[in-house]
Amino acid sequence: MEVAVKVFNLEMQGAERSFMSECEVLRSIQHRNLLPIITACSSINNNGDDFKALVYEYMPNGNLDTWLHPNGEGKALNKRLGLTQRISIAVNIADALDYLHHDCGRPTVHCDLKPSNILLDVYMTALLGDFGIARFYADSSSTSTCSISIIGLKGTIGYIPPEYAGGGHASTSGDVYSFGIVLLEMLTGKRPTHPMFKDGLDIVNFVESSFPEQMLQVIDPHLIDEYNDFSQQKMVTENVFTQCVASLLQVALSCTHALPTERMNMRQIATKMHAIKTSCLVRKSKSLFERASTLKFFEVRFFSSKSLWY
């Protein structure tokens, strides 16, 4: 069995607390879209120093970040994710967060959702990992605040919800915001920390200002290339592509409202994402079917004319 080993640098402040937090979370949750852990190790190394590590199943396709932003290394260099793959990955992560927030017994906030923490298995199924700063709710019936206050900024710049910057508490709404940012990144191909986002411009208002009339201008060029290739072959119509993209952007923007109370919860989001996935697949299949039916019609007309000619 191939495994991935996460070794904690215990010289870093908070590393031991992160190890304990991740162990506590992982021992009490299990879901098809959460990175499965094999074992944890807390021992002494050859120098007599503390040694702590987590052993996970190895994910052969790396993480989502390397597929969205290939940098000359890794398997994703000459590969790109198509729209259908991106939708499936987003659905996987929505399901994982829905489970953490609503179905795992103790509602859990991931606190650090970003593409590098989204792993891809051999079938390109997405699994959420890295629970080093995850938080449990003190009251399982609560859906607004966490038992542990945020000290400083917990998470990664660009994906942190605005309320955390003001000293707010970790919440499921914070994960919703991060999911919205990740979804925008998947559709635009731009990190929220892209150099173009400055002087008041961020990835949210970058997309908002073009939605819906000019939305294709902010979409990842590789997705536009995919659409152009399909449209030239008459395999997919512009209407199918734009409706799918518009639905995804609408969900992403609704997740990134500045006020947490204006955001949907992950159960609602997961339901919408599944509906979008089903709708897009049906529209695409219908478009392909109509294309095949048209070709068959012309083929029949051609052979019928030929037989009459002879």
Q: What is the pLDDT of residues 109-137, one digit of tens each?
A: 999 999 999 999 999 999 999 887 777 65
The CA-based angle 288-291-296, given to 5 degrees, is 125
The amino acid sitting at 303 is F
Model confidence band, residue 282 (pLDDT cutoffs 50, 70, 90):
confident
Helix (H, G, I), strand (E, B), or coil: what is residue 50?
A: strand
CATH class of the domain comprising 59-309: mainly alpha
d(CA 105, CA 28): 8
Amino acid at 266: M
pLDDT of residue 192: 97
Q: Is the pLDDT of residue 298 over 50?
A: no
- d(CA 80, CA 72) in angstroms, rounded, equals 13
pLDDT: which is higher, 72 or 27: 27
Q: Are 7 and 50 in contact (CB under 8 A)?
A: no
| pLDDT confidence of residue 294 | 54
Question: What DSSP string runs through 159-180?
Answer: TS-HHHHTT-B--HHHHHHHHH
Residue 73 pLDDT > 80, yes or no? no
Distances (CA, A) of 46 to 49, 51, 202, 296: 7, 9, 48, 71
Model pLDDT for residues 40-51, shown as the tens digit of each residue: 999 998 888 899
User: Does 172 have pLDDT greater than 50?
Assistant: yes
Q: Do 81 and 75 form a contact (C-beta atoms < 8 A)?
A: no
**221: Cβ contacts below 8 Å, ≥ 6 apart:** 189
d(CA 176, CA 276): 18
How far apart (Å, rounded) are the C-alpha atoms in residues 231 and 217?
17
**pLDDT for 154 beyond 90:** no
Pairing of strands 118-120, 50-57: unpaired
Average pLDDT over residues 161-166: 88
Output the pLDDT for position 4. 92
Global pTM? Answer: 0.84
The reported pLDDT for the residue numbered 136 is 64
HEC sequence for 222-278: HHHHHHHHHHHCCCCCHHHHHHHHHHHHHHHHHHCCCCHHHCCCHHHHHHHHHHHHH
The whole-number pLDDT of residue 226 equals 86
Q: Which of 98, 112, 130, 202 is catalytic?
A: 112
For range 77-101, the mean pLDDT: 92
pLDDT, greater one: 58 or 22: 58
The model's pLDDT over 262-271, given as tens digits with 9 standing for 90+, comes to 999 999 999 9
Q: What is the arithmetic mean of pLDDT over 6-23?
A: 85
With a pLDDT cut of 70, the percent of the chain lying above it is: 82
65 annotated active-site: no
User: Residue 307: which pLDDT band, with cuts at 50, 70 and 90?
Assistant: very low
Contact 73, 133 (CB under 8 A): no
The pLDDT tens digits of the residues spanning 173-185 come to: 999 999 999 999 9
d(CA 33, CA 29): 11
pLDDT at 152 exceeding the cut of 50: no
Exposed e or buried b per residue across 131-144, where buried means at least 16 C-beta atoms within 10 angstroms of its C-beta: bbbbbbbeeeeeee
Look at residue 51 in the predicted model and tell me its pLDDT.
93
Domain positions in the chain: 59-309
Q: Is 93 a residue whose pLDDT tops 70?
A: yes
The span from the CA of 133 to the CA of 257, in Å, is 23
Asked if residues 111 and 154 have their Cβ atoms less than 8 Å apart, the reply is yes
Q: Measured between alpha carbons, how far is residue 107 from residues 1, 74, 138, 244 in Å? A: 32, 35, 9, 31
Classify residue 35 as exposed, middle or buried by CB count within 10 Å of its CB (0-12, 13-18, 19+): buried
pLDDT at 283: 74
pLDDT band at residue 194 under the 50/70/90 scheme: very high
Q: What is the mean pLDDT of the chain?
A: 84
CA–CA distance, 128 with 118 (Å, rounded to integer): 5
Residue 61: its pLDDT value, please?
A: 96
